[in-house]
Structure 1
């Protein structure tokens, strides 16, 4: 049932942009009609208006997200001093450990990846900027959920959680038990729960002055992770989150 306060033009625009944002190549207008349920005449008017504002771009016989939306999206990470602080800390982490670093925010029961600092060594990730993962199956999500109380987490998540690998926690009670441990140690660890072959370490940065719940993480292929490296990376991730938080909140060190 449609929301009685919904604005049809905005809903159609949102649906269109949602389709284009998920596509790996330009989408034809005929496919957009079918995927959005918008009439052909209305769709072409909408496409023309969005293209003139560079929200979308036409490529051959299809459409893709435009540069103006890229600019709008980047405004999200320019606030709170979050991005420059993350870049500085993440660059130092990569220099020391030669592993990727990711920054994400909590959006209801999902994490949204908003920044990433890559390392020279390749690693298969699912953290393209703007992509999402259910919070229960990744270390970033666990770090972010641990910043909430059990009552809030229970309200966000169903009793039975979706499995992405054979290692994913699928019972809410098991997740709550793990979150209690994360709160005590300050570290969330996920072993092949979201993607087979990857171990991820994450720590909660905090809630920014604009109300964003933020966490950082590093993902490492399990085949190149020794016990010694695991300890070093875990300690560094927690320390990095603490330093980023201190800058955001103007807290003195020590």
Structure 2
């Protein structure tokens, strides 16, 4: 009953626009102009302008006069760091991720499902000079990310399909073409426990992921990303072993 009441509760439009603006800025590496922000949140300038100006004056977004672009501000950054500092679970994840990276020498990432997309919440970089470039706080579609596939692998098929907007976004030639192809892959994920991104998100880059359960529920996806040229059969086995160990340790600690 409580969940139904929460779902039925009307959303406060201005508050939702603040949150949408922060999410849009978090997903942009170069910042956004006023016009960009309006387009991203599907709202007119008259509504967005006073919100952005207030957020900039308060330090939650930053404005560059030379480029006319807005970016995440210092106060928002500090709030994120405060969460990272106070969350014992996040510290536990990062420690496990460091062990994964130490074992295989590749970048390890943690993600959760957020409004039908993968939200990346933690990362431990590879020590290699050639490595993945990604950002915490970024969101990506489920259909071409290993973490996305593992996170939705146990959901009802209808729910998975509802998260996809066809025609599917295809950043590389290897990206799947349709929802049916993803549904077929999810069957393999359930059988093996591993999900794969085989150059689907970025050319010449591959990813392997496992799901992490908390109180029996699949809540997190843990992945290793590596350039394809480094993914030998031996390296693949090492990555899968490291992920399996981390999964076991984390689920035991989170229980």
Pairwise TM-score range, normalised by the shorter structure? 0.7 to 0.9
Larger radius of gyration: 1
CA drift of 1:11 comes to: 4.8
Q: Which residue of 1 aligns with 2:219?
A: 213
Structural RMSD (CA): 3.2
Q: Which residue of 1 aligns with 2:241?
A: 235
Structure 2 residue corresponding to 1:9, chosen from 9, 14, 37: 14
C-alpha separation in 2, matches of 1:223 and 1:174: 26
Q: Structure 1 residues 205, 75: CA separation in 2 closer, same or farther (over 3 Å shift)?
A: farther
C-alpha separation in 1, matches of 2:209 and 2:39: 40
Map Cα deviations across residues 92-123 of structure 1 (whole Å, 9 max, x no partner).
12222111100000123311111100011134
Q: Does 1:133 align with 2:140?
A: yes
Q: Which residue of 1 aligns with 2:59?
A: 54
**What SS class does the counterpart of residue 128 from structure 2 fall into?**
coil
C-alpha separation in 2, matches of 1:149 and 1:207: 19
Q: Which residue of 2 aligns with 1:117?
A: 124
C-alpha separation in 1, matches of 2:167 and 2:32: 35
Q: Does 1:101 align with 2:88?
A: no
Q: Which residue of 1 aligns with 2:168?
A: 161
Map Cα deviations across residues 9-35 of structure 1 (whole Å, 9 max, x no partner).
335534544554444446566876788
Report if aligned partners of 1:77, 1:114 keep a CA contact under 8 Å in 2.
no
C-alpha separation in 2, matches of 1:102 and 1:18: 19
| TM-score, normalised via structure 2 length | 0.79
C-alpha separation in 2, matches of 1:169 and 1:216: 21
Report if aligned partners of 2:61, 2:73 keep a CA contact under 8 Å in 1.
yes
C-alpha separation in 2, matches of 1:204 and 1:186: 7
Q: Which residue of 1 aligns with 2:180?
A: 173
C-alpha separation in 2, matches of 1:96 and 1:151: 38
**What SS class does the counterpart of residue 136 from structure 1 fall into?**
coil
For structure 2, the 5+ residue unaligned runs are 1-9
C-alpha separation in 1, matches of 2:32 and 2:116: 29
C-alpha separation in 1, matches of 2:32 and 2:161: 39
**What SS class does the counterpart of residue 87 from structure 1 fall into?**
helix
C-alpha separation in 1, matches of 2:152 and 2:235: 26
C-alpha separation in 1, matches of 2:100 and 2:37: 42
Report if aligned partners of 1:105, 1:212 keep a CA contact under 8 Å in 2.
no
C-alpha separation in 2, matches of 1:241 and 1:109: 23
**What SS class does the counterpart of residue 173 from structure 2 fall into?**
coil
Q: Structure 1 residues 170, 81: CA separation in 2 closer, same or farther (over 3 Å shift)?
A: farther
**What SS class does the counterpart of residue 185 from structure 2 fall into?**
helix
Q: Structure 1 residues 46, 245: CA separation in 2 closer, same or farther (over 3 Å shift)?
A: same
**What SS class does the counterpart of residue 148 from structure 2 fall into?**
helix
